[in-house]
Amino acid sequence: MTIRRKEIHIAKRASEVTPFLAMEVMERAKELEAAGREVIYLCLGEPDFPTPEPIVNTAVQALRAGQTTYTHSLGRIELREAIADYYRRRYRVEVEPEQVIVSSGTSPLMLLLFATLLDDGDEVILSDPSYACYPNFIRFVGGKPHFLRTRPEQGFQPQAADVASAMTPRTRALLINSPSNPTGSVLSPAELEALAELPIPVVSDEIYHGLTYEGEERSILEFSPDSFVLGGFSKAYAMTGWRLGYLVAPKQSVRALQSQHQNFLISANNFVQLAGVVALNECANDVAAMRNAYNKRRLHMIRRLESIGLKVQTMPAGAFYVLADARHISNDSLALSKQILEESGVAVTAGIDFGEGAEGFLRFSYANSLEKIDRAIDLLAEMFEKKGWL
């Protein structure tokens, strides 16, 4: 019997999704490691701490108790109430449980949100540089990312006057991220207030809340109740693989979002949602301990990077990233990151992954131990000296 191979058509929207370079660096690093090379990972935002024990215990108990069924499409009421109570305690804002949509991480919620806000050709303003996946979410549903070039002296964060100048009749939202990936910068209350006063909805990715080291952490909801907030458990609670996130949305948009969630995602894992309740209610001390450790690493990494000639133009105040200027070495950050990995065994992320505004920069993650950070910088120093880059 002769089997005929069939041509598979790849849709335009799928073929236009650009690779996530941070993941590609990590995948190449894994290949080198499997071949026996020493590799130190400073490329991903992956906490190296274990998930706090109360969270793990709750999930195990919930599994044994048979909490493995579907839940309400918005999420378990216990978790939505705990999220609303958290915002009341932490930010003094009123959020009703009916405004909260729980899902398997913030990424699927971002896709549903932009599908809700955007018709074909509608625009979202976002800073350049910013999180690498944002443009793909927007484009995938037919929208257009409108990149706003930002400046290092302003933390690579958007300024209200610049956003107002960039708005067009097709602008449907402004997307912000504070603390930010890749820079770790934090928007001040005055900056948040100015952005909230613009006549377009603000979508605020607050996934790194809980990991701010300088100044007071503020939510966009304190300044505009008609904003959309993406939050979750991956970063502050060391729960990346648990896949648990939420969206706080204005009431008038919830039904449209819920209908999509019912169709495309159904619900987040039942037992994981119960673990999320415990995270919010019982694990503040665990988060504080991790935050203190990250802060020590942050300050240490900045000193070490600058000692080998990598300038930190924007001092990170949150998250666990440092965006370091390597333009004196190369203006091709992807080629440089690949060379660094192959020759030194240190995995870092190319700035170009986050937009043209970060070309020539390298992003370093300090979600790794002080010992490994020191070992990585030592290896880089040795390589840089051999290359004459020091």
| Residue 14 φ/ψ region, left for φ over 0, alpha for ψ in the -120 to 50 degree band, beta for the rest | alpha
The beta-strand segments (E) located in the chain are: 40-41, 100-103, 123-128, 144-149, 171-177, 202-205, 228-232, 245-248, 321-325, 346-347, 349-350, 361-365
* Token pair for 294: 């990250």
Nearest one of 363, 381, 387 to 41, comparing CA atoms: 363
Q: In order along the chain (390 residues), what is the average pLDDT of each group of 10 residues? A: 84 86 86 94 93 98 97 98 97 97 97 97 97 96 96 93 97 97 96 97 98 94 97 97 97 97 97 98 98 98 97 95 97 95 96 96 97 97 94
Domain borders along the chain are 12-50+285-385, 53-283
Partners of 182 in the β-ladder: none
CATH code of the region 12-50+285-385: 3.90.1150.10
Class of domain 53-283: alpha beta
What pLDDT is recorded for position 45?
87
What pLDDT is recorded for position 44?
85
Q: Are 12-50+285-385 and 53-283 in the same CATH fold?
A: no
Give every CB contact of residue 119 below 8 A, 6+ residues apart in sequence: 142
What pLDDT is recorded for position 372?
97
Instruction: Measure the CA–CA gap between 286 and 288, rounded to whole angstroms.
Output: 5
